[in-house]
Amino acid sequence: MEDIQYGNRVKLARVEKGLTQAQLAELVGITRQTIGLIEAGKYNPTIKLCLMIAQVTEKSLDQLFWIKRDLTE
């Protein structure tokens, strides 16, 4: 099985809402460092956490997260 890579727009959604990493983290019940890792693509959040971030940022899951695919393979 190939290594699946994910993309996200969490930082863009957070900034659009006028939230800092710390504020978003508090609203979803995690640390600021975890938000930073998610935004950098270095942490794969659970579906529960994805749903909580989507709710706070008022975005759909597809607007926030997707699977990166190389369509040439």
Q: What is the pLDDT of residues 1-60, one digit of tens each?
A: 567 788 999 999 999 999 999 999 999 999 999 999 999 999 999 999 999 999 999 999
CA separation, residue 8 to residues 40, 73 (Å): 9, 22
Q: How far apart are CA 50 and CA 60, in angstroms?
A: 10
Domains of the chain: 5-63 (1.10.260.40)
16 phi and psi angles, rounded to 5 deg: -60, -35
Q: How far apart are CA 8 and CA 68, in angstroms?
A: 10
